[in-house]
Structure 1
Amino acid sequence: MLAIGAAAQERTLDPVVVSASRVEQRVFDTPAAVNRVDLDWRNSNVLGISVAEPLAGVPGMAVRDRQNFSQDVQLSIRGFGSRATFGVRGSRILVDGIPASMPDGQGQASTINLASAQHVEVLRGPWAQMYGNAGGGVLLVESRRAPDTPTASLRLAAGSLDFTQMMASGGMRINPALGLQAAAEGFSTDGVRAHSAARRRYLDLRADWQTDAATSVRVGINGFSQPQAQDPMGLTQAEFERDPGMTNPLAFQFDTGKTVDQYQLGVQAERRITARDRLSLTAYAGNRTLTQFLGFSGVAPTSSGGVVDLDRNYFGTGIGWQRQPDSGDRIPLRWSAGAEIEAMRDKRRGFVNNNGSEGALRRDEDNDATSYGAYGQLGAYVRPDVQLLAGARYSDVRFKVDDHFITAASPNDSGSVSYSQFSPVLGVLWSASESLNVFANAGRGFETPTFTEIAYRPGGTGVNFGLQPARSRHFETGAKMQRDALALEAALFYSMTDDDIVPLSNQGGRATFGNVDGVRRYGLELGARTGWRSIDWSLAYTLLYASFTQGFVNADGRQVNAGNQLPATARHTFQLEATWRPSQDTSVGAVLHAESRIYANDINSEAAPGYFTLGLNAGRTFRVGRTQTRLFVRVDNLFDRSYSGSVIVNEANRRYYEPAAGRTFVAGVVIGL
């Protein structure tokens, strides 16, 4: 999403640089569908508790706030990842170059600290394959650097649903070579429904060290704690229509919910070898512990239990080389190459859920996943107005299970499996004029099963090592226009996936998955931003056709017909945002969001109806010397629309629907230097 300059009728767009294509260049010159969303909670009316709000205006993306902090937001790109029952699936997430997605492809958007984030880059389509194990796209989050002069900001906010929030950040230079940056965030809420209360805490500490004129090092320590996240579970269609505010009685019986703690240390180093060459190195390690109570007991001898206990250690390293073209080159070349290793080691146990307390042991195993990847890409200007691009990545992902819970009813499920893929990408960029670029790309994608998806074998016990990775072919063409205060973008995309991984059943928290050939996704993305007088406008529209081209019978023996729409994908997604700035210190905004219906299951027997919502916000800044105080207020879902914000795909008991919040109010104050 392109940034608009200061309010004036003659405004021009500031150049926005991204690195999502693994080389730094302007958004306008990037030969792919990529957007940058700038984040600044200190000077905006954005709430800042989830990526759902700032990313909802990116074409091609569907970001749904489930109002269930136990399951995270639903995020999908071009229809990839829509099947995820929790977390982020089908898209890679990296924060300051460090993966927030694990080697098996499962990611957690909830760990992103928006108090420290400066911007998010969203890369969609074939070139996302350069990051490996991602079907639809990549999210790159970049944190703020230490400022040249000391700064400090504090936000306090409160509102409906007993919502309270604190965000704080500050930074300073110890000396010209060393800068420090810190950010903290915390919020709590009683939730939309009974038994949906949540509390979260974030802390980021970063040091930026310029060791010499050519070398820089960034060290980051961050923590995420979720001591409470109750799960109200889904509702049936009849329950949702009768009372969308109700909670599944099983949620109270089994005290469903999740607690999480995650801590991570990361180091990034960069060395400019020459004026054209840059070498980068990344290394990180972290630990994540999780306890989750599911909505069933798990007392059966063949069950893995209704309580999940996870202790995960993860670590990785990567090295990359980038070269920028030189004006004296006969054929200007831009290239990058690198290699990465990622690993996770899970100690996973399962216990009987004894009506909300931990019972007998039902699962005890070690899960290891390791990913090896190497990539390279090259761009060459064969003419002053034509650039050809080529890239490739080789990925090797290995899974290993060591089963320590072996009984007559639960045989030894130990084993291993590995997946590999060579993913080439080809593209072309034509600079038709100074204000118009046209591009086209084609490539192959690769998406492995996650440990969650191989955990259970359909129709039996044990690990589903027979589940295959999804392999897809991607094509896109698009155009970007940038003139004065107007930016337009459009892209047509098409993908066909064989062995796509789809949920077959989800009984009592025990989800099983299978492979299906011929899953097709295609559509249109449109985006526009402009400024007229003192009003900034932005528009995003996505037309998505996502369907099965081949019929199949799911694990419950039900026929899924060819032509059925993929569940949790909307045919139409639209967002219009307008911000009026009558002065430098005052803003009044409105956001209109609309989506067409989404099916809840593969057989397309039930669907959440389409909806639209309108939100309003306003803020005013007061300045006294270097100190500024900003007051803001916002109302979301102004017309109090009742709708299902998301669906639990293929839930076996037909409890598909997760109600969204009604009309809510939030007010706050930001004090900063």
Structure 2
Amino acid sequence: AAGGVLNILTQGAPDTPIEVTPRFVFGSNGLRRFQGKATGKVGRHEYLINFNSFWFDGYRDHAFARSNGINAVGRHTLNDKVQITTVFNYFRAPYQFNPSSLDKTTSDTTPTSARSFVQRQGASKKVTQGQGGITLSYRDDRQSADVTVFGMGRTLFNPIPGRIIDLKRKGGGVRGVWSRMVRMGQSTFRITGGTDIEFQSDDRQEFSNGGIPNSEVGKLNNERVFSVLTVGAQELNQHEQVLGIGPFFEVEWSPRPDMILTAGGRYDRYRFKVDDKFLSDGTDDSGSRTMNQFSPMVGVTYKPRPYVALYGVFSTSFQTPTTNELSNQPAQEGGFNPNLNPERLRGFE
């Protein structure tokens, strides 16, 4: 955009075969974090592996947490123009207790407490997630191109007050982007175009929450909370699918060295589909929704001095509800909420 860009890059490897960095963090309320990083470069190959293990008792009651994670990045340079990057991430939280909210009076007098109802409902979650991707990149003096393929899987077991959510998710997609610099006399153009294609598939079940035995309230501090929890009658069973496509383009024109004019746009189209598998309630809430929008932007940057930049940009954006939000019906029936619409924004900077 005319105002700049947030560019987040993964740490590069040092010019050594291996460099190992351990890290240990200890804090109040039972905080412990052990981390280790190994990175290096061998010929045209670079790698970075990072793992961490986390424990936390929490400032409040019913706030215990435990997790493990590993991240890995590998790069292989084929030649001076082409590079392949692979990324993998795995995360597992065997338990994350949820102390929930407090009213103002209680938060002032006993801020470390958790409501007894929340504790009796075993409010918590356990999560396992893995994701990975591979990117093929090309660079030369005038143009660049990237193609990325990625996939992910996630399981979630989430007791909340009144309900238990059991979710299994798969997803993935492809992203391609191409950019080229063109000079015409004293003017310079940069043309960028690409598209995102993504899919998501969820198997969602929900059950009534029978809670944990009164004798266990205040005594649980690990994954045992899930074994003593009473899973009640099934209330929801549906398969949710999302397919999205988003082509985009941007043109930067520099009519003179101290000025850049920018214009671009993106068209998003998402199709949400739900298949209701819980038909014993007498209704079939299967259905689909389509959400789409074209989002343009224009901007200008002027640099009267090398260290001074004046800019203005008008932009629009579009964001759909998540499947979690769409499936959260006011009357707790199945299907998707027909009254929940996308977020559409206009902004000037």
TM-score, length of structure 2 as denominator length:
0.90
Question: Which residue matches 2:172?
Answer: 315
Question: Which residue matches 2:272?
Answer: 399
Which residues in structure 2 correspond to 1:102-117 (within 5 Å)?
A: none
Encode CA deviations 1:287-314: one digit per residue, 9 max, x unaligned.
0000000022xxxxxxxxx110000001
Q: Give 3-state SS (helix, strand or coil) of 1:213's partner.
A: coil
Q: CA separation in 1, counterparts of 2:48 and 2:110?
A: 46
Q: CA separation in 2, counterparts of 1:220 and 1:447?
A: 26
Question: Which residue matches 1:160?
Answer: 28
Q: Give 3-state SS (helix, strand or coil) of 2:9's partner.
A: strand
In the TM superposition, residue 466 of structure 1 has moved relative to its aligned partner by: 3.1
Relative to structure 1, the CA distance from residue 460 to residue 346 in structure 2 (aligned partners, 3 Å threshold; closer, same or farther) is: closer
Residue 291 of structure 2 corresponds to residue 423 of structure 1: no
Question: Which residue matches 1:629?
Answer: none
Question: Which residue matches 1:183?
Answer: 50
Encode CA deviations 1:416-446: one digit per residue, 9 max, x unaligned.
0011101110000000211100110012221
CA contact (8 A) 1:416 1:465 kept: no
Residue 204 of structure 2 corresponds to residue 348 of structure 1: yes
Q: CA separation in 2, counterparts of 1:341 and 1:362?
A: 33
CA contact (8 A) 2:186 2:255 kept: no
Q: CA separation in 1, counterparts of 2:151 and 2:239?
A: 18
Relative to structure 1, the CA distance from residue 431 to residue 347 in structure 2 (aligned partners, 3 Å threshold; closer, same or farther) is: same
Unpaired runs of at least 5, structure 1: 1-20, 22-30, 36-120, 122-140, 297-305, 477-673
Q: CA separation in 2, counterparts of 1:420 and 1:295?
A: 34
Question: Which residue matches 2:218?
Answer: none
- Partner letter of residue 25 of structure 2? A
Q: CA separation in 1, counterparts of 2:332 and 2:126?
A: 30
In the TM superposition, residue 33 of structure 1 has moved relative to its aligned partner by: 5.4
Q: Give 3-state SS (helix, strand or coil) of 1:411's partner.
A: coil
CA contact (8 A) 1:171 1:182 kept: yes
In the TM superposition, residue 331 of structure 1 has moved relative to its aligned partner by: 1.0
Residue 172 of structure 2 corresponds to residue 287 of structure 1: no
In the TM superposition, residue 329 of structure 1 has moved relative to its aligned partner by: 4.8
Relative to structure 1, the CA distance from residue 420 to residue 177 in structure 2 (aligned partners, 3 Å threshold; closer, same or farther) is: same
Question: Which residue matches 1:5?
Answer: none
Which residues in structure 2 correspond to 1:56-95 (within 5 Å)?
A: none
In the TM superposition, residue 460 of structure 1 has moved relative to its aligned partner by: 6.8
Q: CA separation in 2, counterparts of 1:179 and 1:457?
A: 48
Q: Which of 324, 337, 349 is the matching residue for 1:452?
A: 324
CA contact (8 A) 1:278 1:321 kept: yes
- Partner letter of residue 194 of structure 2? G
CA contact (8 A) 1:145 1:208 kept: no
Higher relative contact order (CA 8 A, sep 6+): 1
Encode CA deviations 1:492-529: one digit per residue, 9 max, x unaligned.
xxxxxxxxxxxxxxxxxxxxxxxxxxxxxxxxxxxxxx
Which residues in structure 2 correspond to 1:242-321 (within 5 Å)?
A: 242-272=109-139, 274-296=140-162, 306-321=163-178
CA contact (8 A) 1:177 1:211 kept: yes
Q: Give 3-state SS (helix, strand or coil) of 1:332's partner.
A: strand
Encode CA deviations 1:618-655: one digit per residue, 9 max, x unaligned.
xxxxxxxxxxxxxxxxxxxxxxxxxxxxxxxxxxxxxx
Q: Which of 230, 243, 248 is the matching residue for 1:357?
A: 230
In the TM superposition, residue 470 of structure 1 has moved relative to its aligned partner by: 2.2
Relative to structure 1, the CA distance from residue 239 to residue 397 in structure 2 (aligned partners, 3 Å threshold; closer, same or farther) is: same
Question: Which residue matches 2:41?
Answer: 173
Relative to structure 1, the CA distance from residue 216 to residue 252 in structure 2 (aligned partners, 3 Å threshold; closer, same or farther) is: same
Q: CA separation in 2, counterparts of 1:204 and 1:323?
A: 32
Aligned residues: 330
Q: Give 3-state SS (helix, strand or coil) of 1:142's partner.
A: coil
- Partner letter of residue 335 of structure 1? I
Q: CA separation in 2, counterparts of 1:250 and 1:460?
A: 21
Q: Give 3-state SS (helix, strand or coil) of 2:15's partner.
A: coil
Q: Give 3-state SS (helix, strand or coil) of 1:442's partner.
A: strand
Q: CA separation in 1, counterparts of 2:185 and 2:339?
A: 51
Encode CA deviations 1:514-570: one digit per residue, 9 max, x unaligned.
xxxxxxxxxxxxxxxxxxxxxxxxxxxxxxxxxxxxxxxxxxxxxxxxxxxxxxxxx
Q: Which of 251, 259, 274 is the matching residue for 1:386?
A: 259
Q: Give 3-state SS (helix, strand or coil) of 2:90's partner.
A: strand
Q: Which of 290, 312, 318 is the matching residue for 1:440?
A: 312
State the identity %.
27
- Partner letter of residue 266 of structure 1? G
Q: CA separation in 1, counterparts of 2:64 and 2:176?
A: 42
Q: Give 3-state SS (helix, strand or coil) of 1:473's partner.
A: strand
Question: Which residue matches 2:221?
Answer: none
Q: Give 3-state SS (helix, strand or coil) of 1:212's partner.
A: coil
Encode CA deviations 1:227-250: one digit per residue, 9 max, x unaligned.
110001100122112211111112
In the TM superposition, residue 359 of structure 1 has moved relative to its aligned partner by: 2.4
Question: Which residue matches 2:225?
Answer: none
Unpaired runs of at least 5, structure 2: 212-228
Runs of 4+ in 1 over 6 A off after TM superposition: none
Structure whose residues are more often strand by fraction = 2
CA contact (8 A) 1:346 1:367 kept: yes
